[in-house]
Amino acid sequence: MAKHIPTEPTIDRSVTLHFVGDWGMANFHRICSFLTQQLRDRAGPRSRVAIWNMRGGGLLEGIKRVYDGEVDLCIATPAKLMETALTGRGFFAGTGPMPTLRTLAVLPQRDRMMLAIDPKWQIKSFEDLRQKKPPLRIATSVDDGTNFIGYVAMRLMEAHGISEEALTSWGGLHHGLVPIPAEKQAVSKLAAEQGVKPASIRAGFWDTVTKKIPVIDFSDFLIIVRDDMPEDIAHLLTWCLVQKSA
């Protein structure tokens, strides 16, 4: 019996789409380039896609531009944080709810967020950190209202009872490292307020990790569009992501 080969979806008419990637050379731009080629191969002869760079430092710009109708598609991470965009909670309290956003697909990528401290301080837990109050220099992204990494990093610290003001008062600044396990109650607080989920770093992942370390899940890329995207375009883009991304 001959094997059935499913027909690839196509769009006969020519379409013009606008995507938002990243600053030009990172993962999101590469994903947008892949989608552009796949769409162009299966849509009308005058189809074209513009890939716009982000103008600022954070991913909020792309999401807002999709919601406002300025562009058709953007990419965002971490996936769990994006749930609060629909209701305007947490990070998105300043923008308000964006209920017309939709996700075409999740592109899996394993990522974690955690705090790690120079071994010279002999700190192995957040309780040690709260007691010793060392003058730390911490490397992270800026918490400026647009950057998800900087935002979640500071919420992680605050959930453990350590504000930016407290770090500064200890003489700290924002810098090989001892991983600090996230505390269960802090992770539960973040899950309730921001939608993020717990995860872990396995023992042996780094030389300094001798046992499983609880951390914050920062995984997965979401392909975000609006709910008014034409059905055939949404289907074709999703088909390309599922069938051609391997």
pLDDT bracket for residue 20 (50, 70, 90): very high
Interval 38-62: pLDDT, tens: 999 999 999 999 999 988 767 899 9
- On the question of a common fold for 16-110+220-243 and 112-217, the answer reads yes
Cα(143)–Cα(94) distance, rounded to whole angstroms? Answer: 14
Give which of 213, 206, 188, 193 is closest to 81, Cα–Cα: 193
Interval 121-170: pLDDT, tens: 999 999 999 999 999 888 888 888 888 988 999 999 999 999 989 988 99
Class of domain 16-110+220-243 as given by CATH: alpha beta
Amino acid found at 50: A
Structure tokens at 95: 């923008």
Q: What is the pLDDT of residue 140?
A: 84
Cα dihedral angle (102, 105, 110, 111), rounded to 10 degrees? -20
Cβ-contact 240, 39 below 8 angstroms: yes
Task: Look up residue 2 and give its DSSP letter.
Answer: P
Q: In the chain, where are the structural domains located? A: 16-110+220-243, 112-217
Cα(226)–Cα(146) distance, rounded to whole angstroms? Answer: 20
E-strand stretches of 82-208: 101-107, 112-113, 115-117, 178-180, 198-201
Residue 246 has pLDDT above 70, yes or no: no
Q: What is the DSSP string of 122-136?
A: ---SHHHHHHH----
> Please, which residues have CB within 8 angstroms of residue 14's CB and are 6 or more apart in sequence?
43, 44, 45, 46, 47
Cα dihedral angle (70, 74, 80, 84), rounded to 10 degrees? 0
Q: What is the pLDDT of residue 5?
A: 54
φ/ψ of residue 159, rounded to 5: -65, -20
Buried b (16+ CB within 10 A) or exposed e, 33-44: eebbebbeebbe
- What is the percent of the chain with per-residue pLDDT over 90, rounded to a whole number? 62
Cα distances (Å, whole numbers) of residue 90 to 51, 93, 96: 29, 5, 10
CATH number of 112-217: 3.40.190.10
